[in-house]
Amino acid sequence: MSQKAPIRVLVTGAAGQIAYSLVNFIAKGDVFGTDQPLDLILLDIKLMMEVLGGVVMELKDCALPLLREIVATDDYEVAFKDIDVAFLVGAMPRKQGMERKDLLTANVTIFKGQGQALDKYAKKNVKVIVVGNPANTNALICSKYAPSIPKENFTAMTRLDQNRAMAQIAERLDCNVNDVNKVIIWGNHSATQYPDVRFATAVKNGATMIQKRGAAVIAARKLSSAMSAAKASCDHIKDWWFGTGDRWVSMAVPSDGSYGIKEGLVYSFPVICTGGDERKYKIVQGLKIDDFSRSKMDLSAKELEEEREMALSVCKD
């Protein structure tokens, strides 16, 4: 058995449908490696504690050798204390006919409170992925309320959009998804996102249907994507943790002004993750932006600015 010290990993919304797949992926070693023991901290609201108790029973019944302690709680101090990584999933999902930003008023206050809890209790090098929608703006708010933690430690998930794009391209070209590279998701995890295949390899024909895929899954399942979202959040954190080599992955990260995107907006860019002890990511620089791409990228940035205004007015202070 491994000699590594356990890491503390928090999953919020732990009684919900994404977490139901996610906790197993994490605990069996898919994200941090099969030699990395971990403590899993599961946060949900008081009302869900009985359901969460059932999830804990099942996790135990999986008999997972890497899984040390399991903590199920509705208390932010217990949940956020000394964590290394946070999967912030807990938030209301959209129903058929809604856009993700329709969730903003309901969800943004959750991320204000969790930002404050991260600031107070988490390790200062904690790595955060926000999955709960509207993910980019929730990540921005979370970071705003955690000023003692570096801004670049807050990211939002657009990896599901990247995975969807890669899978559709692979299907159309009848190749393996691993043979598709350099697909970029620019902007917001919303219908204004711009899936950019201009640099992709193994592509014959650029048209995709990524922006509305979430809505298509809701229409079919009557529930929003869960297994694929859980898998994508694992891909995101695994690549951030171990590095990507020269592969490009899309992550929504605080803009540093690259590609003319206003500083501070949490915007999806192609990044390369360095891994190692520092676990940094760098936005891929120097890509040519043609007029079509510019207009698509600006549209998504404009939407994020509007979301930011709305979120700040909900949070008030």
Ligand X SMILES: O=C([O-])CC(=O)C(=O)O
Binding site for ligand X (CB under 6 A): 93-94, 100, 133, 160, 214-215, 217, 224-225
Strands 194-196 and 184-186: antiparallel
Give me the residue label for tokens 């999955």.
131
Count of residues near ligand NAI by CB under 6 A: 29
Structural contact between residues 212 and 191, judged by C-beta atoms closer than 8 angstroms: yes
Interface with ligand NAI includes 13 (CB under 6 A)?
yes
Instruction: Using DSSP, state whether 315 is helix, strand or coil.
Output: helix
Judged by beta carbon, residue 29 or residue 214, the one nearer ligand X is: 214
Minimum CB distance to ligand X, residue 135 (Å): 7
Token pair of 227, please?
A: 């297994």
Choose from ligand X, ligand NAI, none: what does 157 bind? Cβ within 5-8 Å by kind: ligand NAI
Structural contact between residues 127 and 225, judged by C-beta atoms closer than 8 angstroms: no
Choose from ligand X, ligand NAI, none: what does 217 bind? Cβ within 5-8 Å by kind: ligand X
Question: Would you call 236 a catalytic residue per the annotation?
Answer: no
Judged by beta carbon, residue 229 or residue 273, the one nearer ligand NAI is: 229
Choose from ligand NAI, ligand X, none: what does 10 bind? Cβ within 5-8 Å by kind: none
For 314, the enclosing helix (H) or strand (E) is helix 291-315
The answer to whether the bond into 65 is cis (omega within 30° of 0) is no
Token pair of 171, please?
A: 């299907």
Closest CA to 3 of 83, 69, 86, 66: 66
Q: Which of 27, 31, 38, 43 binds ligand NAI (CB under 6 A)?
A: 43
Q: Say how far apart CA 270 and CA 182 lie, in whole Å.
A: 8
Q: Say how far apart CA 199 and CA 222 lie, in whole Å.
A: 35
Judged by beta carbon, residue 153 or residue 250, the one nearer ligand NAI is: 250
Site map (CB under 6 A) of ligand NAI, residues 76-115, x = contact: -------------xxxxxx--------x------x-----
Judged by beta carbon, residue 86 or residue 160, the one nearer ligand NAI is: 160
Judged by beta carbon, residue 94 or residue 282, the one nearer ligand X is: 94
Classify burial at 313, counting beta carbons within 10 Å of its beta carbon; exposed 0-12, middle 13-18, buried 19 or more: exposed
Catalytic residue among 100, 189, 213, 236: 189
* Amino acid letter, residue 91: A
Q: Which of 2, 4, 45, 212 binds ligand NAI (CB under 6 A)?
A: 45
Interface with ligand NAI includes 195 (CB under 6 A)?
no
Residues with catalytic roles = 189
